[in-house]
Amino acid sequence: MPPVSAPPFPPAAAVLAPPGFARTRTLITVAPTGAESTKADVPALPVTLEELVAAAKACEAAGAGLVHVHIRDEHALPTLDLGRLRETVAALREQTSMVIQLSTGGAVTDPYEQRLRVLEAQPDSCSLTCGTVNFGEDVFLNSWPFIVELYQRTQAMGIVAEFELFDLGHVAALHRLLDGYGAPAGGRVHADLVMGVPGGMPGTAATLVAAVAALPEQATWSATGIGRSTLPVALSALAAGGHLRVGLEDTVTFARGRPVRDNAELVERAAALAVLAQRPPMSTEQAREFLNLNPGGGTSTSGSVTGAPGRDERAVEA
């Protein structure tokens, strides 16, 4: 595929401030599948389209506003097949109102060209990892030229990039990207701190505070705790004003010695923590406004979204 020329975008200094409710509501992202676990090891893992849609619907009802999607093939193996990705986006868009985010990371073995083509499935959002990281015994490789090409394509196509940050060097790369290539589609910078991966930054409160302090001005952020760091990271993120990502991609154990029942169980716990923190979950309409997306998909030029009052809006006021 030939490179896509991005239109001129405002400089990083022109990044939009988040809406006021970003301080009183919590965006909950669910990552239901991932590319690492197998169905044999994790029977609750959604690997078919039907299972994925059912999981997304249950997670939306539990409080999730955004779904981070990896897909599997007919053998339940990770795939970036474009036809399957398009079918998945269409099904999720038809049966949920969630923000649909496709992973451009795929599996550690996926080539750059296939990862770029993920954008052709026309999601609302995509992940954009800002560097290379040791991933357990493997290496997840994102060269600087690939990061730039992927970012410029998201700008040209109006797809909101979520910046995945596995260590403090990735935070520095995010600054470099914004300084060199301007604000993302939609104008808001939203990052996800992925913590607890063997080879990445540890899932501790001290590390989270250091990473947040280094983020660009006006950036919003979520945090993901992998494995046993899930709860420490979630509690630290809420205390520091951040948002949450949970799901079977990131943890398969709910408590010591007890596997996760399903993705909805993780979302229910995250939503309960958010309510306790006096920052209840965003509705899907609020999630779209938060990321500056139009109600039906695509980035907004006005930064406003109309819609009915969101989930819990009348029940809990922060």
Query: What are the φ and ψ backbone dihedral angles of 42, each rounded to 5 degrees?
Result: -130, 85
Q: In this model, does residue 229 exceed pLDDT 80?
A: yes
Q: Which amino acid is residue 236, in one-letter code? A: S
Cα separation values, 76 from 14, 40, 66, 114, 119, Å: 43, 10, 23, 18, 22
Whole-number percent of the chain with pLDDT over 70: 88
In contact, 206 and 32? CB cutoff 8 Å: no
Q: How many whole angstroms separate alpha carbon 93 and alpha carbon 102?
A: 13
pLDDT, mean over the chain: 89
More confident residue, 312 or 209: 209
d(CA 16, CA 183): 9
- pLDDT bracket for residue 18 (50, 70, 90): confident
Q: Which of 31, 147, 156, 54 is nearest to 100 (CA)?
A: 31
Question: CB under 8 Å to 24, separation ≥6 — which residues?
Answer: 278, 279, 318
Residue 160, both tokens: 């909101």
Cβ-based neighbours of 95, under 8 Å, separated by 6 or more:
53, 56, 57
Mean pLDDT of 227-240: 97
Q: Is 297 left (phi over 0), alpha (psi -120 to 50) or beta?
A: left
Alpha carbon distance 46, 60 (integer Å): 15
* Residue 250 confidence (pLDDT) above 80: yes
Q: Is 221 left (phi over 0), alpha (psi -120 to 50) or beta?
A: beta
d(C-alpha 246, C-alpha 294), whole Å: 25
Q: What is the pLDDT at residue 38?
A: 94
**Strand 258-259 versus strand 253-255 pairing type:** antiparallel
Helix axes 82-95, 49-62, angle to 10 degrees: 40
pLDDT in tens, 255-278: 999 999 999 999 999 999 999 999
How many other CB atoms sit within 10 Å of the CB of residue 280? 24
How much is the pLDDT for 277?
Answer: 97
pLDDT classification of 297: cutoffs 50, 70, 90: low
Q: Please state, in angstroms and rounded to a whole number, the distance separating the CA atoms of residues 146 and 144.
A: 5
Neighbour tally for 12: CB within 10 Å: 21
Q: Is the pLDDT of residue 5 over 80?
A: no
Domain boundaries, the chain: 15-290
For position 213, what pLDDT does the model report? 97
- pLDDT digit string (tens) for 137-178? 889 999 999 999 999 999 999 999 999 999 999 999 999 999
pLDDT for residue 203:
97
pLDDT for 313 beyond 70: no
Q: Give the tens place of pLDDT for each residue, 199-216.
A: 999 999 999 999 999 999
| pLDDT reading at 6 higher than 90 | no
- Indicate whether 318 pLDDT > 50: no
38-91 pLDDT, tens per residue? 999 999 999 999 999 999 999 999 999 999 999 999 999 999 999 999 999 999
Polymer length of the chain: 318
What is d(CA 155, CA 171) in angstroms, rounded to the nearest whole number? 20
Name the class of domain 15-290: alpha beta
Q: What does the alpha-carbon distance between residue 109 and residue 93 come to, in Å, rounded to a whole number?
A: 28
pLDDT of residue 21: 85
Token code pair at residue 276:
């306790």
In angstroms, the CA 251 to CA 260 distance is 8
Residues 6+ apart with CB under 8 A from 260: 44, 248, 251, 252, 253, 254, 266
Q: Which of 225, 217, 218, 216 is closest to 193 using CA atoms?
A: 225
Say what the pTM is.
0.89
pLDDT in tens, 91-119: 999 999 999 999 999 888 899 999 999 99
- The residue written with tokens 């943890």 in the block is 251
Q: How confident is the model at residue 304 (pLDDT cuts 50, 70, 90)?
A: very low
Percent of the chain past pLDDT 90, that is, above it, reads 82
Which residues are bridge partners to 164 per DSSP?
A: 129, 192
Gyration radius of the chain's alpha carbons:
18
